[in-house]
Amino acid sequence: MSPQTFVMKVSPKAPQKRLILTAAEALRRGGLVAFPTETVYGLGADAFNAEAVKQIFVAKGRPLDNPVIVHIASVADLKALTSHVPERASLLIDRFWPGPLTLILRKSPDVPDDVTGGLDTVAVRMPQNKIALALIKALGHPIAAPSANLSGRPSGTTAGHVLQDFAGKIDMILDGGPVAVGLESTVLDLSRKPPAILRPGAITQEDLEPFLGRVVMGRGADDKKRSPGTRYRHYSPKARVTLVEPGDETAIARLLDQHAKAKRKVAVVARHFTAGGGVRPIVRIMPPDLEEYAQQIFAVFRELDELGVDEIIVEKTEEEGIGVAIMDRLRRAAAR
Ligand code: AMP
Ligand code: MG
């Protein structure tokens, strides 16, 4: 759409007003602006400008039936999006917003269908990032923003990743440094009972259950209809990803051997790995801490793509805390 993409460094602690106003002006004119949130970078448009929202789908190559999350800066902004905030939503909002929790609520008729993919619900969250909040406030409208990556690619967690995917295609990138969480928000469907987690994230089932009672993990055919984004292969590097059990160096050695025979360029992404035998893969040792792991994994996938790796062998993590979300992304990256 726009041949030039302005990249502006913005202070994450005290976002410069002038820069925020410039970005808000671009959005007001119907442009696209990428900005940091605490989860991943978002590719934003004015949520009430249907034409601008359409451009997000064009820029990303995103299927039109995959709805986007609307970002707000205050609870009062909810009024424009939904006519009814259920009691249990209020509890969660008090506890988790601003933060990496997206709530699916009944939508008000004013929300453009392009935002919601024609569904009767809308996905909303208040991000915990001063740049994002300042931008939404300066625009004076909620901002529709999916993750800032070409559809199917790993989400952008630095401004550099966003530039890789969108140079010359969007108006502006606000560079607020690397994101804190590194994985997309938890998506919680409150429009049904029991509430269902459609996408795991930093806020876990155990975090939510004290407020809601039983919460189910939404998987299966019906859930895919409800959260179209979960239908697609996703978060994927260009290289083929194969998962192995934690600590299973024998499995890694066997795969390395096969790839060596086929002369494929291989990387191992693992927390435990000692030797590659006669083969010399690129070895990316990941942090033992799951939060740090989450923060790095998409950047690692992009880095390995840059290096022209054909195959990535990834050691699974434990599935507890944010590990549930990590494993969800790893499985999708490995899906064929
Ligand atoms: P992204 O914006 O790239 O982080 O992806 C947003 C995710 O939220 C996708 O998996 C969407 O399918 C999901 N989503 C957005 N809006 C809705 C909605 N109204 N109902 C169910 N899922 C939604
Ligand atoms: Mg996405």
pLDDT at 226 (0 to 100): 53
Pairwise CA distance, residues 294 & 287, whole Å: 9
- Give the pLDDT confidence of 67-124 residue by residue, as tens digits: 999 999 999 999 999 989 999 999 999 999 999 999 999 999 999 999 999 999 999 9
Look up residue 123 and give its two tokens.
């996905």
The torsion of the CA quartet 283, 288, 293, 294, rounded to 10 degrees, works out to 150
- Are 235 and 154 within 8 A, CB to CB? yes
Q: Are strands 311-315 and 266-270 parallel, antiparallel or unpaired?
A: parallel
Residue 268 Cβ < 6 Å to ligand 1: no
Q: Which residues does 187 contact at the CB level (< 8 Å), separation at least 6?
A: 69, 102, 104, 123, 197, 198, 199, 201, 227
pLDDT at 212 (0 to 100): 96
- Choices 3.50.50.60, 1.10.3720.10, 3.40.30.10, 3.40.50.11030: CATH for 240-334: 3.40.50.11030
Look up residue 305 and give its two tokens.
């793509």
User: pTM here?
Assistant: 0.95
**Residue-by-residue pLDDT tens, the chain, 336 positions:** 567 999 999 999 999 999 999 999 999 999 999 999 999 999 999 999 999 999 999 999 999 999 999 999 999 999 999 989 999 999 999 999 999 999 999 999 999 999 999 999 999 999 999 999 999 999 999 999 999 999 989 999 999 999 999 999 999 999 999 999 999 999 999 988 999 999 999 999 999 999 999 999 985 445 555 555 555 566 788 999 999 999 999 999 999 999 999 999 999 999 988 876 677 899 999 999 999 999 999 999 999 999 999 999 999 999 999 999 999 999 999 997
Residue 32 Cβ < 6 Å to ligand 1: no
Ligand 1, from 185, 199, 219, 332: best to mutate by most atoms within 8 Å of Cβ? 199
- Are 142 and 72 within 8 A, CB to CB? yes
pLDDT at 236 (0 to 100): 82
Pairwise CA distance, residues 101 & 304, whole Å: 29
Q: 264 CA distance to ligand 1 centroid (A)?
A: 36
Q: Are strands 186-189 and 101-106 parallel, antiparallel or unpaired?
A: parallel
* Superfamily the domain 6-226 falls into: DHBP synthase (3.90.870.10)
Q: 103 CA distance to ligand 1 centroid (A)?
A: 10
Look up residue 136 and give its two tokens.
């939404």
Which residue's alpha carbon is at the smallest distance from atom 20 of ligand 1? 227
Using the atom order of ligand 1, give the atom closest to the CA of residue 62. 3
pLDDT at 175 (0 to 100): 98
Residue 147 Cβ < 6 Å to ligand 1: yes
Residue 119 Cβ < 6 Å to ligand 1: yes
* Domain residue spans of the chain: 6-226, 240-334
Task: Calculate the average pLDDT of the chain.
Answer: 93
Is 240-334 in the same CATH topology as 6-226? no
- Are 77 and 55 within 8 A, CB to CB? no
pLDDT at 272 (0 to 100): 87
Cα distances from 91 to residues 103, 185, 212, 336, in angstroms, run 12, 18, 9, 39
Residue 230 Cβ < 6 Å to ligand 1: yes
Using the atom order of ligand 1, give the atom closest to the CA of residue 185. 4
Pairwise CA distance, residues 333 & 336, whole Å: 8
